[in-house]
Amino acid sequence: MMIKVRCPNQACGQTSHLCDDGLRRVFRCPGCRTKLPSTPSVPSARVGALLDDVAAAVKPDGPLHGSSRISELPAIVGDDDKHGGWPTSELDPEFQVGRLQFRNKLGSGSFATIYQAFDPLLERDVTLKVFHKDAGESSRDFAHFSSEVKALARLRHPQIVPIYDAGREGAYHYIAMEFIEGRTLAEVLAEGQVDVRQTAGMIAEVAEALAYAHASGIVHRDIKPSNIVIDAHGAAHLIDFGLAHRREMVEDQARAGAIQGTPAYLAPEQARGNDAVPHPNNDQYSLGVVLYEMLCGRPPFSGKPLHVLVSVLQKEPPRPGALNPDLPAGMEAICLKTLSKRPEDRYPSCQSLAEDLQRWLRGEPTSAQQAVSRGWRVLWPRQMRRLAASILTMLVEILLTLIVSPPVGP
């Protein structure tokens, strides 16, 4: 239930909209910091149960801790909560989530809208992800919320955006995360290709973040440029674990066989839509597509989703060097190795990919180049034997022609 409260400070008098969540939190005026009148408690068993679990796992002013409590968040199916709504079009500048004050809208996706908000107590900006309310698909939306919270709660890596808070405001679930001053890689690529050395550094950072997530039992499953944020210093940060698969997760039977992710960035084994358990190699292939796009200005395959999926399964991508003649051979070899159709032909892990990229940056031979070199050493003798056989056959034919043909003369 939304309650409109006016600041008791007569010199201020600013109006705020508060949502009673049953936690009896203390609210202060965003203008003058005067304590606002407390709101009456309206108990809600379903809302209270969720918020109690979240509150137990979240510090009042810091990041989440104790992921075991987060893993116990109850599922909400077909929720018909009558609490106050969330602004769905123009944002009310006075609206708040707890003490978080809205700044501006950053973007919107299939499941959530992203806002920049301000925490006046800790004097820092945060990224606020608010999941859409859809009465027909609220269980699906909550599944994405729950999956992302549980995944982020256990991850602590400098290239993975950390979670600060999670919960529910009215009928909407939200996640508060660190705010990264920068742009998504998709926005960067829209302005043109990135320098090859910068590309190698960014992909190496994301690869290391993925290696850490994989070691923690989490497969991202949706690696693409819009889920990578580049900060003001050029460092890459991985975001959006809404489709993440955790080691202990049991897939929903309704989603078994469904294709999870964005078609242009799916690994062939994902594009088949089979029931195989997600594997870290899936993320490596998707990151390889991002690398290809950064090097060539376009992903390997594009077009309608079905056409892209068929191409991913049946076609080899155009050589990066054919699209970018200035591309160093070593970088092309790394890229093509990540895009191998068979998972066993890719790098053993994303950490191995990161290490190969670092070797390339240092000017050292890479494992991808050495693999290509070994392949040519195996093929070269065969090609030489075939060439020698062809030359010998040709000489024999010429000799036979001279012997059989009568001499030409008077």
Active site residues: 222
CA distance 302 to 28: 51
- CB distance 70 to 153 below 8 Å: yes
The helix-helix angle for 367-404 and 350-361 (nearest 10°) equals: 80
CA distance 3 to 172: 16
Give Cα separations from 198 to 46, 194, 236, 256, 360 (angstroms).
Answer: 49, 7, 10, 39, 12
Strands laid side by side in the 100-108 sheet:
96-97, 100-108, 112-119, 124-131, 172-178, 163-169
Residue in 105, 168, 93 with CA at minimum distance from that of residue 138: 168
Residue in 311, 371, 364, 365 with CA at minimum distance from that of residue 346: 371
Residue in 314, 316, 313 with CA at minimum distance from that of residue 300: 316
Provide CB contacts within 8 A for 22, sequence distance 6+: 41, 42, 43, 44, 47, 48, 51
Dihedral angle at the C-alpha atoms of 226, 229, 232, 233, nearest 10 degrees? -120
CA distance 226 to 205: 16
Provide CB contacts within 8 A for 303, sequence distance 6+: 311
